[in-house]
Amino acid sequence: MQHSRELFPGLLTLPFKPTVVYDNQARTPDLALIEPDYSAWWVGEVELAHHSLEGHVAPQVEVLARATYGDAEAAWLADREGHLDRALLRQMMRGAQPRILVVVNAPCPDWVPRLRPDAEVMVVEPFRSEHDRYIFRQNGFEVTVGGSTVSICRADHQMPRMLVVDSPAAVLSRNEDPLQIDHAGTESIWHVISAQDRVWLSPERGSPFPLEGDVALCEREDGTLFFEPNP
């Protein structure tokens, strides 16, 4: 936490220790890494390289990756971190579930293939000088703040005329409805539809492209929105 600004530049890095449950297994994470616009977030797990991969790390990651995060976890953070926006936290957790980041203190190359696709592995190796000064060598995966992408949107097979918004807070915080969104030179109007556990985009007069798979909702420097294929 003392070096979070250097290790995770641009992200809100916070202690995050609620108990989460999957398949009757309870686990406690260590960190939350949140985009400043609440568009996406990570759950961080800090490990030591000598910990057992199969006996400890992999079971921990499995639960963290498959647990459900929602209002209770948003309240846990908001109650302890008074500077956070409680409403935006709740909206964020209504979208896509967090990605998982394992931070370990030495290279563990056999961890990477074992933990994917549930988690990414970041190595932060500390070195202490004879004067008790620390430096860190960082390699492996790096968490970066998203660029022009506002949210990934996914086709909803239960509601085929709509796109599910993975980052509700980033869309709702714009306080715009409807949204004018460009796709390949064609402008279309989309309404923001919000329910208790999900947010959608719905085209006013039909979508200019087939609503299949994923698409990225992006923002230009002038603030206009556009869709592009999700890489």
Q: Find, among 207, 213, 155, 171, the residue nearest to 186 by Cα.
A: 207
Write out the two tokens for 10.
């641009």
What are the residue ranges in the chain where pLDDT is below 50?
A: none
pLDDT, one tens digit per residue, over 154-177 is 998 888 889 999 989 889 888 889
pLDDT in the model for residue 147? 61
The answer to whether the CB of 143 falls within 8 A of the CB of 33 is yes
Residue 1, CB-side half-sphere exposure with 13 Å CA sphere: 6
Give the burial string for 118-149 (b: 16+ CB within 10 Å, else e).
Answer: bbbbbbbeeeeeeeeeeeeeeebbebeebeeb
pLDDT in the model for residue 149? 82
pTM of the model: 0.74
pLDDT in the model for residue 146? 62
- In whole angstroms, give the CA distance from residue 176 to residue 191: 9
pLDDT in the model for residue 231? 64
